[in-house]
Chains A and B, each alone.
Chain A
């Protein structure tokens, strides 16, 4: 230090001094973010204490006190979680009551699904165009593989379950609700009063009631609405309910995108002599949908979580099959373990989707952010 202070400099020639040692590096960070004031220090200590207590209990329950090996519940004596039920029931959690010898079909669908969804998520993928054709064909292939017929053994939809059913519900819901949502959003912004009124009534009605009442309606009232002899199976009824429900929310997301497109774009399309559908298809929708992709992903996360409600009307989705496992007399009182495992599965998928949505938002905003 003395060498710096002793030396004399011409005005303006003094070299920059290093920042005080306490304000940089780990020490500086700790000081700034954890111990900046007395109140802050107390908060930090409380938080540490809380983390220690909770962390300790969680680690004991999940790892150190838990039982991982054994055959029956009698093996669980350590006081922590009894994870044996997960291992015992794992196949059901994945496939529900799907026949064991046909699991390979569900597995193929899982793998194909990855290849079908990847090109939709990432636009820099090589050969994306070819993959997109595959994505469009995927639902048909998946339906054929899962339900059978034409050389494959038929599997009744009542036996679909677990993760498989959750994915079927989620993906069908989003695929069906996107086009319906676009039509509803266009209808709501239409100049024709009757079309607009119908769309507004439908959207506001669906958004005003809980999903469970719509599912009740689909499972109790739909059979009454149809002519004699025509009957949908339970899964299709639930799918109709879920698709109608999410299409109303989708319509509102897409309407946000339509409103964000400057009026000049609409007028420009009109000036080019394009018809209504041409201008929507070529000019407005491509821009509007691009803006609202994050919103669509968020709607999808909501839809994916909401698929658990079908367990109330008697379908065995991931949560429905977990409730079956909880009610099993062979594994008594293991509800927290089972539900925690299901929660982990949902958390992983929903959290990664929300991260994806954030990433996309940042990507789409490049250049516009101030």
Chain B
């Protein structure tokens, strides 16, 4: 293009505007907003007419209306059919959180163990773990949940319950374990636990400072473990074992006493744990493998003990690689817990998003609230993990 024509192009109005990037971008964004707004308007108008035609009520009044159905699993507070849909929401939310947190704990422990075993020099062990990981990862989770549920329902009936030392009872209605009943003075134990944790925290801060100043190393880990386990135990013994157990007893057609863990919960928890543990195992394995062998050799050359090599050199570097994918596994587990709906575990999707939706017909409000819960959980978990991640991140210049 010669200079003359370029000047011409710049001179003539329309062409200059079109070839101005800022104008184009403004124009395009205005277009996008317009289209998006029109789309929203289209949906809202349609929804309004449809709701009116079908006589669906709107608003959040239904939260105060009685639910009219029972929830089988509500471990944190008593739920009656006369309670409101708002209470259903809290029961569902607590059930979701309960299975997610227990799943995350169990899956982390199992996953880390499996990930380390996968790297074991023992060929047989690493092969077994490899098979486990591949099989679990490649079968849909929903199928695994249903499979576990069918296995738990296939257990013997109440009359033929499997009893382990008359303490644990296993039958098709679930697992019944002794219920701990705290008596006078038990409160001292959790108080001691909190004191021990806070104390260990302060001690480790102090020890770090001392180490920075003088180079002297204090046994932080051992002291912390000892005090966190020891102090509550001591309090427990001193107050004279203030804990009774209610053992399950067969009365009539069912067991009385004890804590009954329903097969819905167990099946969901098992499946979530086993499935996620396989993914966590792979994450842990790749994280440990990502630390080059030179690091180990260098640590040995510096004369570090093997346990220190692991704790001070390998793990901090591996954690950096492990944490981001681990976060997404935790989020996946929480979101996957919504599959509870398939086996009737009353989590938020099954009770609130399922039964309440069908009873009230207020799909928009119910699904909106349900989604909001998961979005909040996702944001909170990622915020916590991001905070932790920023602490262990490699500090570069």
Contact = CB atoms under 8 A, between A and B. Distances in A.
Interface of A: 32-34, 36, 40, 43-44, 47-48, 50-51, 191-195, 198, 205, 207-213, 216-217, 220-221, 223-228, 301, 305-306, 308-309, 311-312, 319, 323, 326, 333, 335-336, 339-340, 342-343, 346-347, 350-351, 354
A216 B367 contact: yes
B51 A224 contact: yes
Nearest to B117: A43
A210 B43 contact: no
Contacts of B122: 33-34, 36, 40, 43-44, 47
A343 B341 CA distance: 20
Contacts of A309: 142, 339
Given A194-B29, A339-B147, A220 B140 contact: no
Interface stretch (B2-10, B77-85, B374-382): B374-382
B46 interface: yes
Contacts of B47: 224-225
B28 to A, nearest CB: 7
B272 to A, nearest CB: 12
Given A192-B29, A312-B142, A340-B147, 5 more contacts: A48-B124, A210-B336, A210-B338, A227-B46, A308-B142
Say what secondary structure dominates the interface of chain B: helix
B124 A34 contact: yes
B50 interface: yes
Interface in B366-397: 367, 370-371, 374-375, 378-379
A336 B151 contact: yes
Interface residues of B, number: 54
Contacts of B357: 216, 220
Interface in B264-288: none
A43 B375 contact: no
Nearest to A48: B124
A161 B146 CA distance: 19
B370 A34 contact: no
B208 interface: no
Contacts of B143: 308, 319, 339, 342-343, 346
A307 B338 CA distance: 15
B371 A209 contact: yes
A77 to B, nearest CB: 17
A91 B96 CA distance: 38
A319 B49 CA distance: 37
B341 A312 contact: yes
Interface of B: 25, 28-29, 32-33, 36, 43, 46-47, 49-51, 53, 120-125, 128, 134-135, 137-144, 146-147, 150-151, 153-154, 335-336, 338-339, 341-342, 349, 353, 357, 363-364, 367, 370-371, 374-375, 378-379
Contacts of A40: 121-122
Contacts of B364: 221, 224
Contacts of B139: 305, 343, 346-347, 350
B33 A194 contact: yes
9 contacts: A48-B124, A195-B32, A209-B335, A216-B363, A225-B43, A305-B140, A336-B150, A336-B151, A343-B147
A225 B123 contact: no
B355 to A, nearest CB: 13
A221 B363 contact: yes
A323 B336 CA distance: 20
A213 B373 CA distance: 11
A99 to B, nearest CB: 27
A47 B128 CA distance: 8
A336 to B, nearest CB: 6
A205 B46 contact: no
Contacts of B53: 228
A44 B326 CA distance: 30
Contact of A333 (B124, B154, B353, B378): B154
